[in-house]
A and B are shown apart, each in its own frame.
Chain A
Amino acid sequence: MKEFLEGSRAVAEAIKLCKPGVISAYPITPQTHIVEELALMVAEGKLNSQFINVESEHSAASLVLGAVATGVRVFTATSSQGLLYMAEVLFNIAGMRFPVVMTCANRAISAPLNIWNDQQDSVSMRDTGWVQLFAEDIQEAVDFHFMAYRIAEDKSIMLPVMVCMDGFILTHGIETVDMPSQEQVDKFLPAYSALYKLDPQNPITMGLVADPDYYTEARYALHQTNREVLDLIPKVTKEFSGIFGRVYNGLIEEYQTKDAQRVIVAMGSVCGTIKEVVDELRKKGKKVGLLKITAYRPFPIRQIYEALKNVPKVAVLDRALSLGSYAPLFSEVKAVFGTKKKKPQVISSFIAGLGGRDITKDSIKEIFRLLTAKELSGEFIDLKPELLKETYEQ
């Protein structure tokens, strides 16, 4: 049913339809509305769930770890500092192969303190072993949560999934969303049936010490399973479209890339803006396109290769930094082509939209303008040089 909803509210509705048994989170802007909506649903008797207010994000993640280990579907959400605070628990959850689903309302990372949107938080957690899906709009944010549980709980996978949605832009923005019915969700997502759990009827030991004789294989298995998710996602999106009607690739989205001379690669809500610019420029005869990355982890190497191998000029737009080195998404896109024969002539790196600085249509046009035969490394768009000084001044 089509409703006009705030993104956070839409995500909360989606979670409600997934019927988690335990929800635990700690408040941090801009995730707050998601969790508040869920608390209200529980208070109104609309959602039967144990809703636990914890004293930190580290405990929120630990609590859902304990709950999912006991065989119950769980949910948590966070942003920025909170995501970093629970970082060691994220590695732990993935390593212990628990199907936790979490929303990350993407927000910049301190210092300096900034509550507005960029992608540094979830990008900084790319090594954890979590599947990371980036939503372009609120409909995707909603739909990806259903898929997240389906992917996570697949008995051959058993990995946690993080649905990333740009803070404020998608969490506090209001869009028309097609909310599915409980019947549709139940058809797509069966009740959670744990592959292993804490049960006095069948005791097992979880979270053992693995010395050098065993650790590598545990990590190898985790890595392989992450790669296997690349094969699972297309199956899941196919099932999804059969039940809900909406069609997703799930790994990437190729927007006017087939004959494009210049393509921007990006993740998240900025893709909506880029699509509008692509449409505008196409009307003027410019052959431009967008490659949207939906699944950042696992990284869809083969799909990116196929999409870009014949594109002469590629601009990778990063909304995060790997300070002191190549920007994260750029370095991985570049690595896809390595020493391959077919590859773009130019892959340039652009940084924009840090700490909530708007990426306007003009910013995107600037990127296309700067995407020439000259390869650029870490070019900041909309930088304000007047704020920069060589030496420290009060």
Chain B
Amino acid sequence: MSNSLFSPGHTACAGCGQSLAARLVIDACGANTIIANNTGCLEVFSSKYPESAWGVPWIHSLFENAAAVASGIEAALKFLGKKEGINVIAQAGDGGTADIGLQALSGMFERGHDILYVCYDNEAYENTGIQRSGLTPYGANTTTTPIGKELLLGNIRFKKPMPEIANAHGIPYVATASAAFPQDVQRKVKKAISIRGAKYIQIHVPCPLGWRHASDLTISVGKLAVETGLYPLIEYENGKLTAVRQIQPKPVEEYLKPQGRFKHLLNNPEQIKIIQAIADNNIEKYGLRVKTEVKSEASS
């Protein structure tokens, strides 16, 4: 039995990317951590009275206010002269971050609280039944962007650029990560908590239930999101893009195929082109393509 600060016995779905990521985050932070958690899958499956999976002090208040609650925890610790050595984490899902939680998050960033904010991005309001959020990707079939006779495309909006929005606030560290790359998650979390100020990490967490893929494909689907360029793994430090995970880009179809939420697009080359363009755009914008050395015969 491992000594994780996020114990087994929680009631997440089998293969839940978010439960994996949450465990990676808290174990990277260690026991000297206080967590403020928004309402969502993670909160619900880890804290049903009288049981809690959390081995650190943990508080849940409402759907949209973890950033504000965490601000209060941080302020109290500062008042007590105890902030040094205690990590304050605010965490939420994509809806709780980019939609309803955006105001409190923006305030927390602007005030520069010494807090790490983690967004678990499973790309929809999964806890309430797979409804579309501001971070739902183009083309996804959700219960509020369903496929019908009239509307055949699913979600036709693009993901809100949360990492860029966070970065625009002038905070010292912004990163994206994926549950499919667990060591990278922990490295980024450890790096973030060593920096003073407001930090934002957005972790892509596959959801077998909401994305409609087999529960044993969590890691492989997560990997494909990164390897197609659809979910770039990047780091911004003090406003500048300082690191990206380089990829040998795979075609987006490989990522779309295993997921039921994109099934309606597989016979629609127009739509796949649009999604490929999103990936290509990311690859270009962040410089994701692995640079291969071109050996010139003539020069030798």
Contacts and interface: CB of A to CB of B under 8 A. Distances in A.
Given A66-B70, A209-B48, A200 B34 contact: yes
Contacts, number: 157
A93 to B, nearest CB: 9
Given A56-B107, A66-B36, A50 B57 contact: no
A214 interface: yes
Contact of B47 (A58, A198, A207): A207
Nearest to B36: A66
B205 to A, nearest CB: 20
B52 A22 contact: no
Nearest to A70: B76
Residue of A70, A96, A209 ringed by the most chain B CB atoms within 10 A? A70
Interface in A63-87: 63-72, 74
A329 interface: no
Nearest to B31: A200
Interface string A46-69: 001110111110111011111111
A214 B72 contact: no
A67 B72 contact: yes
B65 A89 contact: yes
Nearest to B5: A203
B62 A92 contact: yes
Contacts of A71: 76, 80
A206 interface: yes
Residue of B48, B72, B103 ringed by the most chain A CB atoms within 10 A? B72
A72 B79 contact: yes
Residue of A48, A53, A60, A65 ringed by the most chain B CB atoms within 10 A? A65
Nearest to B60: A207
Interface residues of A, number: 45
A378 interface: no
B171 to A, nearest CB: 15
A65 B61 contact: yes
Given A53-B111, A71-B80, A96 B61 contact: yes
A388 interface: no
Interface in B77-97: 77-80, 86
B104 interface: yes
B69 A63 contact: yes
A228 interface: no
Nearest to B59: A206
Given A62-B104, A70-B76, A52 B55 contact: no
A208 interface: yes
B68 interface: yes
Contacts of A22: 72, 75-76, 79
A55 B62 contact: no
Nearest to A86: B65
A134 to B, nearest CB: 28
A74 B76 CA distance: 9
Given A49-B79, A206-B58, A54 B49 contact: no
Given A88-B62, A205-B47, A59 B104 contact: yes
B48 A208 contact: yes
A15 B72 CA distance: 18
B181 interface: no
Residue of A21, A68, A89, A208 ringed by the most chain B CB atoms within 10 A? A208
Contact of A89 (B47, B62, B74, B77): B62
Contacts of A202: 57
A53 B43 CA distance: 28
Interface string B146-162: 00000000000000000
Given A89-B65, A206-B59, A211-B49, 18 more contacts: A21-B79, A55-B106, A55-B107, A62-B72, A65-B61, A66-B61, A66-B71, A67-B76, A67-B79, A68-B72, A70-B77, A200-B86, A203-B54, A205-B58, A205-B59, A207-B59, A207-B60, A214-B49
21 contacts: A22-B72, A50-B78, A55-B103, A58-B104, A59-B103, A59-B107, A66-B59, A66-B73, A66-B75, A67-B79, A74-B72, A198-B73, A200-B32, A200-B56, A203-B54, A203-B56, A207-B59, A208-B49, A208-B60, A211-B48, A214-B50
Interface of B: 31-34, 36, 43-44, 47-50, 52, 54-62, 64-65, 67-80, 86, 103-104, 106-107, 110-111
